[in-house]
Structure 1
Amino acid sequence: MKKTGLLVLIALLAAGFFYFDLHQLLTLSGLKSGLVQFEAWRSASPILVGGVFLLMYVLVTALSLPGAAIMTLAAGALFGLGWGLLIVSFASSIGATLAFLVSRYLLQDMVQSKFADRLMAINQGVEKEGAFYLFTLRLVPVFPFFLINLLMGLTRIRALTFYWVSQLGMLAGTLVYVNAGTQLGQIDSLSGILSPSLLFSFVLLGVFPLVAKKSLNWLKGRRVYAGYSNPKTFDRNMIVIGAGAGGLVSAYIAAAVKAKVTLIEAHKMGGDCLNYGCVPSKALIKSAKVANQIRHAEHYGLQSSEPSFSFQQVMARVQDVVRQVEPHDSVERYTELGVDVVQGYAKLIDPWTVEIQLNEGGTQRMTARSIVLATGARPFILKLEGLEDVGYLTSDTLWEAFSKRDTPPKRLVILGGGPIGCELAQSFARLGSEVIQVERSQRLMAREDEEVSELVETSLLQDGVAVLTSHTALRCERDGDVKRIVVEHEGEERVIEFDELICAVGREARLEGYGLENLGIETKGTIVTNDYLETLYPNIYAAGDVAGPYQFTHVAAHQAWYAAVNALFGSLKRFRVDYRVIPWTTFIDPEVARVGLSEQDAKVKGVAYEVVRYGLDDLDRAIADGARTGFVKVLTVPGKDKILGVTIVGEHAGDLLAEFVLAMKHGLGLNKILGTIHTYPTWAEANKYAAGEWKRAHAPAKILNWLEKYHSWRRG
């Protein structure tokens, strides 16, 4: 009601302005014809006229009415340069701020919620450099005065900042107009004030802050690099430290554009994903799934039986899969691509110099114009009393530890209810281990919606996993060969005996041993970077898990493009890293895949949304495959088919998600997906049917009612 009342008041004031022909006074001819009377009033009551003039100016600018330029001329004619400049300077800034506040009050919430994803980068830019951009706009009168006020009100710039920047930024333009007003008799039109030469001068004023910013960045760089001697020549264009996904892609891009690049890796090429994470875990998941299908073969019309297998052979297959993928990331391949691969431990000596402790012995130093840090992450280990005594494994170490075993561990405790913990818990349970999964939170996979967590827990329970949510690990104990973990739930302790324990509570960036602290490169759990992935030093970049905020192989590769391109071509053009459409998948059975907002995210962020849902139990291919568990859930802008986020639970969910990732990336809505032919019978039809559910929910009821009457009339 308050907003409606304000809108009515503004409309009435604007209507009155035109109804009483006040706009005729705020023209050049109107000003000239009434100047004698204005001067008489000013001579009789200078303070009163000055005050009324100031209030009128504030009102005109606050309501975004035409005439501010004429009033500025009038100020010069009536009050002279000094007093005119003073009055207009404050009146224009106050009026602009009122217009700014009205725009913010009436429209900001609606605009920010409706275009939250598109405005994210603008909001971040305004937060960091809003004053700079506003100052630039104020210096160049080419941009309409009222439009700047209204548009800035939609951003999150502080009102106080808006006021003082406007006060300073408009001073030069105000001075020109007020000064012109002192010579009002010589002015025939407003275009006479803003001659081409004067406009050019204003443009130069507008360019000045940009030049100043470049100069400040240069001075900042000088200060950052103070105390270091910049090499006159460089051995390389780029040095990349770490040969995981981020490092491999960075080096590949550099070599592709014919830059001289060295890739340094201390251990195995391919990083965690190839050797300990994505590849081996998916191989294990597949073997476990086949074992589960044998155990439940009656589901497919076959005879069920307990799978007979050698656990050692299962683990051997895992390593064989790694070996088959390994050539894609090998030293030989990257050498053929033109990358100089050096195996050893790298350390930053200065912003351009890297020292390498070679694996084969000795050291080597080299310099480069730019350096990319892609050192990855490692499993996070809980500080748990007695953990070292009982021994533990991680998602990195379990592969070698289990490679010689004939049988899986009989009693296995897994700490952690995130994606890694859930994948391992289900796989080892299906391979015959008695798995107890301990999670401190109230539910598994807490980043997902509650219904997803419930479905995941149900699936794990069906496979025999004992899921202990809301349980906190307190300590570990050992009595000879007997190993125990003590957990607490609702104030009561519980003792669990186990044969093996896997710590899967997350991963942390590798930050130590690379010389970051000696160079003063800031870290806060990850290496601190700006929007261009630059660290404190503009020539040193970070990409992948060590940079955050997402620890996914595909995000590391995504960041690597920005890091490499900015490092090699940043002096010409820089690119802000884009995190708007980030997909991820947890490869349990059924899979959980997501891109964009979940319902949980939308509620926390206050984003308005609608939900459309399609159950896979209705999909023909799911019925044929005997995998009817799951759903496709799409969040859209209310009343529109624009996709805000998608969650898919079910067979091949990670593959199904790709269509929605493409749609979100390129601004395609559900209508486009609905209008696309999908092969029958495939899993991908689920996406089309989800779009169909949205269309059905938004069917135009009135039009359909008229169509029904039309067809009835046509039947006679």
Structure 2
Amino acid sequence: MSEKEINVRIPTQGMTCAGCEDHVINALNSIGAKNVTASFRKGEATFQVEEKSDIEKAKKAIADTGYMPGEAEIISSERKPELSQEGDYDLLIIGSGGAAFSAAIEAVGQGAKVAMVERGTIGGTCVNIGCVPSKTLLRAGEINHLARMNPFLGLDISAGPVDLATLVNKKNELVDNMRQEKYVNLIDDYGFDLIQGEAKFLDENTVEVDGRKITAKSFFISTGASPQVPDIEGLKEVDFLTSTTALELKELPKRLAVIGSGYIAMELGQLFHNLGSEVTLIQRSPRILKTYDPEISEAVTEALTEQGISLITGATYERVEKDGDVKRIHIVVNGEKQVIEAEQLLVATGRKPNTAALNLDAAGVKVGSREEVIIDEYLRTSNPRIFAAGDVTMGPQFVYVAAYEGGVAARNALAVTEQKIDLRFVPGVTFTNPSIATVGLTEEQAKAEGYEVKTSVLPLDAVPRALVNRETTGVFKLIADAKTLKVLGVHIVAENAGDVIYAGTLAVKFGLTVQDLRESLAPYLTMAEGLKLAALTFDKDVSKLSCCAG
């Protein structure tokens, strides 16, 4: 391939079969495109052209065949990175989490001179105070809960008092080891510079770190986010917990109240419930998981309530006060005043981006209403030399999204590619028990996008794995295009939903149909079989099938 040739992807609607693919391929070949592919499942065409002006010719050729081309994306120009002698570094990265390390590894691989600035602990949120510590403690909580409340008659098991201090100490050991192996050790392995201290922009070319001025050709901001504190009277005068400090408690509270009921609130609330605390979740909206499909919200509400967690929805907060060791949360629900008392109060009402110390104005970087860094589809900020990704942009707050974005940002910053991010098929998992996993469109979103929708809702008690587990509160829901039966969304509340959702992600991303799921072989007595049973439920009563006849 010559240096001029450009790799292009064009979303193409209207293809429904291999014959449609041939029509698009022939049309693109006719205008001189090379290495042409088309996929009706992906809904896209890819090819190479020599000039950017040829892209419009390609779009017209597709349209002339009767299909609908979308906005073209240059996915790679196969260029060498644009490195120069200007500045101390080719790429200066601010932050050291998943996005930062992904960007650093990618940039070093392209031959760039790279530095990373970190003001605190190496590794960012996930390994230090997020995914890793919370999930290992959640697992401990699940084991304790099963020992106390197992669903199998005939098993005589019990659980003694929880030694929270020991659990937390072992959690810290795990975090320390993973931080060292997955982050710190990689700095020397890949050979980029680590600069300890807080970075502040002086201008668009320069940051200052503890008095040292550092210049770079391009910058990458990945400073993450921190717990947000709502404006409730008296709250700041009370020693409340956040998602960070809750994971460092050494004594189990008898009662825990949680302001908020998003994924962090639910995970940590259930953790302390499973360890033995009385837990109350309080939220403003009329139902938990208000942006999810109603069936998902209802299943989670039922599961948490069955387990003994108290849920209060539709609450208005009046004030918070402390009386000795007791915190009191004064709320109004349906016009009636209530007071919730607890020894510990956890505030989990979302996160705010870490941008306050960066002095972004000096670099011409615009922020939004929540102080998040504003980026375009190439992860470029309002300053074309500065890129950003991860939680600091308030996009999907998952470490795997941040890592994906970090690699894209590094390539774009070095002008190796001109690549847009694609976040259409991001799976999300909440690690409660049962866990919650979703990918693709909700029913409401699909209708808003103009689809005529067909849905399947399968209660968990129709899934044999759930029956043998004796844990049957949950649901599978599939959203499909009524005309083509293409799967648009998969939503699950079940044990191991996070493992099952990867199959759902592939189905949505690659345009599988309900019929494709029906015709696939699903292993019997796995939770993944629920996907196939949910597909069968579109036009069959699965309760009338033999156990493995799916």
For the aligned pair, the TM-score class normalised by the smaller chain equals: 0.7 to 0.9
Q: Judging changes above 3 Å, is the alpha-carbon distance between structure 1 residues 636 and 233 closer, same or farther for their aligned structure 2 residues? A: same
Q: Judging changes above 3 Å, is the alpha-carbon distance between structure 1 residues 637 and 326 closer, same or farther for their aligned structure 2 residues? A: same
- The amino acid across from 2:393 in the alignment is A
Q: Is the 8 A contact 2:295 2:475 kept in 1?
A: no
Matches within 5 A, 1:248-259: 248-259=101-112
Question: What is the CA-CA distance between 1:383 and the residue it aligns to?
Answer: 1.5
Q: Does 1:536 align with 2:389?
A: no
Q: Judging changes above 3 Å, is the alpha-carbon distance between structure 1 residues 541 and 398 closer, same or farther for their aligned structure 2 residues? A: same
> What CA distance in whole angstroms lies between the structure 1 residues aligned with 2:187 and 2:85?
29
Partner in structure 2 of residue 288 of structure 1: 141
Query: Which protein, 1 or 2, shows the higher relative CO under an 8 Å CA cutoff with sep ≥ 6?
Result: 2
Picking from 115, 138, 160, the partner of 1:262 is 115
Q: Is the 8 A contact 1:248 1:329 kept in 2?
A: no
Partner in structure 1 of residue 226 of structure 2: 378
Q: Does 1:519 align with 2:363?
A: yes
> What CA distance in whole angstroms lies between the structure 2 residues aligned with 1:385 and 1:143?
60
Picking from 470, 474, 484, the partner of 1:626 is 470
Please state whether the residue corresponding to 2:521 is helix, strand or coil: coil
Please state whether the residue corresponding to 1:477 is helix, strand or coil: strand
Q: Judging changes above 3 Å, is the alpha-carbon distance between structure 1 residues 682 and 495 closer, same or farther for their aligned structure 2 residues? A: closer
- The amino acid across from 1:344 in the alignment is G
Matches within 5 A, 1:431-446: 431-446=275-290
Question: What is the CA-CA distance between 1:297 and the residue it aligns to?
Answer: 2.8
Please state whether the residue corresponding to 2:414 is helix, strand or coil: helix
Picking from 127, 141, 148, the partner of 1:274 is 127
Partner in structure 1 of residue 423 of structure 2: 579
Partner in structure 1 of residue 193 of structure 2: 340
1:227-265 residue CA offsets vs partner (Å, 9 max, x unmatched): xxxx96222111111111111111121122232211111
Q: Is the 8 A contact 2:300 2:474 kept in 1?
A: no
Scaled by the length of structure 2, what TM-score is found?
Answer: 0.80
Please state whether the residue corresponding to 2:392 is helix, strand or coil: coil
> What CA distance in whole angstroms lies between the structure 1 residues aligned with 2:299 and 2:428?
18
Please state whether the residue corresponding to 1:629 is helix, strand or coil: coil
Q: Is the 8 A contact 1:674 1:688 kept in 2?
A: yes
Please state whether the residue corresponding to 1:497 is helix, strand or coil: strand
Partner in structure 1 of residue 204 of structure 2: 351
Please state whether the residue corresponding to 1:690 is helix, strand or coil: helix
* The 10-residue stretch of structure 1 (667-676 or 527-536) with the greater mean CA deviation from structure 2: 667-676
Question: What is the CA-CA distance between 1:510 and the residue it aligns to?
Answer: 1.1
Partner in structure 1 of residue 29 of structure 2: none
Partner in structure 2 of residue 239 of structure 1: 92
> What CA distance in whole angstroms lies between the structure 1 residues aligned with 2:200 and 2:460?
52
> What CA distance in whole angstroms lies between the structure 2 residues aligned with 1:640 and 1:118?
13
Question: What is the CA-CA distance between 1:650 and the residue it aligns to?
Answer: 0.1
- The amino acid across from 1:538 in the alignment is P
- The amino acid across from 1:535 in the alignment is T
Q: Is the 8 A contact 2:485 2:515 kept in 1?
A: yes
Question: What is the CA-CA distance between 1:324 and the residue it aligns to?
Answer: 3.5
Partner in structure 1 of residue 273 of structure 2: 429
- Runs of at least 5 residues in structure 2 that lack an aligned partner in the other structure: 1-39, 45-52, 72-83, 542-550
Scaled by the length of structure 1, what TM-score is found?
Answer: 0.63
> What CA distance in whole angstroms lies between the structure 2 residues aligned with 1:151 and 1:429?
54
Question: What is the CA-CA distance between 1:459 and the residue it aligns to?
Answer: 1.8
Q: Judging changes above 3 Å, is the alpha-carbon distance between structure 1 residues 309 and 507 closer, same or farther for their aligned structure 2 residues? A: same
Question: What is the CA-CA distance between 1:696 and the residue it aligns to?
Answer: 5.0
Q: Is the 8 A contact 2:272 2:279 kept in 1?
A: yes
Q: Is the 8 A contact 1:670 1:691 kept in 2?
A: yes
> What CA distance in whole angstroms lies between the structure 1 residues aligned with 2:459 and 2:335?
40
Q: Is the 8 A contact 2:225 2:392 kept in 1?
A: yes
Picking from 274, 290, 299, the partner of 1:455 is 299
Partner in structure 2 of residue 309 of structure 1: 162
Partner in structure 2 of residue 500 of structure 1: 344
> What CA distance in whole angstroms lies between the structure 2 residues aligned with 1:239 and 1:628?
51
Partner in structure 1 of residue 78 of structure 2: none
- Runs of at least 5 residues in structure 1 that lack an aligned partner in the other structure: 1-114, 120-132, 157-230, 358-362, 698-716
1:304-356 residue CA offsets vs partner (Å, 9 max, x unmatched): 43443312222223223323322343322222122222221112222222221
Partner in structure 2 of residue 601 of structure 1: 445
Bigger strand share: 2
- The amino acid across from 2:385 in the alignment is N
- The amino acid across from 1:532 in the alignment is Y
Question: What is the CA-CA distance between 1:541 and the residue it aligns to?
Answer: 0.2
1:68-118 residue CA offsets vs partner (Å, 9 max, x unmatched): xxxxxxxxxxxxxxxxxxxxxxxxxxxxxxxxxxxxxxxxxxxxxxx9x97
> What CA distance in whole angstroms lies between the structure 1 residues aligned with 2:179 and 2:85?
39
Please state whether the residue corresponding to 1:385 is helix, strand or coil: coil
- The amino acid across from 1:249 in the alignment is S
Partner in structure 1 of residue 27 of structure 2: none
Partner in structure 1 of residue 172 of structure 2: 319
Please state whether the residue corresponding to 1:554 is helix, strand or coil: helix
> What CA distance in whole angstroms lies between the structure 2 residues aligned with 1:477 and 1:683?
45
> What CA distance in whole angstroms lies between the structure 2 residues aligned with 1:430 and 1:679?
31
Q: Is the 8 A contact 1:488 1:494 kept in 2?
A: yes
> What CA distance in whole angstroms lies between the structure 2 residues aligned with 1:450 and 1:674?
25
Q: Does 1:547 align with 2:393?
A: yes
Please state whether the residue corresponding to 2:271 is helix, strand or coil: helix
1:666-709 residue CA offsets vs partner (Å, 9 max, x unmatched): 33333333333333332222223333334759xxxxxxxxxxxx
Partner in structure 2 of residue 395 of structure 1: 243
Q: Is the 8 A contact 2:296 2:475 kept in 1?
A: no
Matches within 5 A, 1:130-279: 233-279=86-132
Matches within 5 A, 1:35-46: none
Q: Is the 8 A contact 1:448 1:600 kept in 2?
A: no
Partner in structure 2 of residue 660 of structure 1: 504
- The amino acid across from 1:395 in the alignment is S
Q: Judging changes above 3 Å, is the alpha-carbon distance between structure 1 residues 337 and 671 closer, same or farther for their aligned structure 2 residues? A: farther
- The amino acid across from 1:450 in the alignment is P
Partner in structure 2 of residue 297 of structure 1: 150
Please state whether the residue corresponding to 2:391 is helix, strand or coil: coil
Q: Is the 8 A contact 1:252 1:334 kept in 2?
A: no
Q: Judging changes above 3 Å, is the alpha-carbon distance between structure 1 residues 502 and 639 closer, same or farther for their aligned structure 2 residues? A: same
Partner in structure 1 of residue 406 of structure 2: 560
Q: Judging changes above 3 Å, is the alpha-carbon distance between structure 1 residues 695 and 489 closer, same or farther for their aligned structure 2 residues? A: closer
> What CA distance in whole angstroms lies between the structure 2 residues aligned with 1:366 and 1:413?
46
> What CA distance in whole angstroms lies between the structure 1 residues aligned with 2:116 and 2:223?
11
Q: Is the 8 A contact 2:281 2:309 kept in 1?
A: yes
Partner in structure 2 of residue 700 of structure 1: none
> What CA distance in whole angstroms lies between the structure 2 residues aligned with 1:257 and 1:596?
33
> What CA distance in whole angstroms lies between the structure 2 residues aligned with 1:670 and 1:598?
16
> What CA distance in whole angstroms lies between the structure 2 residues aligned with 1:618 and 1:274?
37
Name the Cα RMSD after superposition: 3.0
Partner in structure 2 of residue 365 of structure 1: 213
Q: Judging changes above 3 Å, is the alpha-carbon distance between structure 1 residues 498 and 630 closer, same or farther for their aligned structure 2 residues? A: closer
- The amino acid across from 1:347 in the alignment is K
Q: Is the 8 A contact 1:347 1:355 kept in 2?
A: yes
Question: What is the CA-CA distance between 1:496 and the residue it aligns to?
Answer: 2.2
Please state whether the residue corresponding to 1:569 is helix, strand or coil: coil
> What CA distance in whole angstroms lies between the structure 2 residues aligned with 1:662 and 1:668?
8
> What CA distance in whole angstroms lies between the structure 2 residues aligned with 1:502 and 1:290?
23
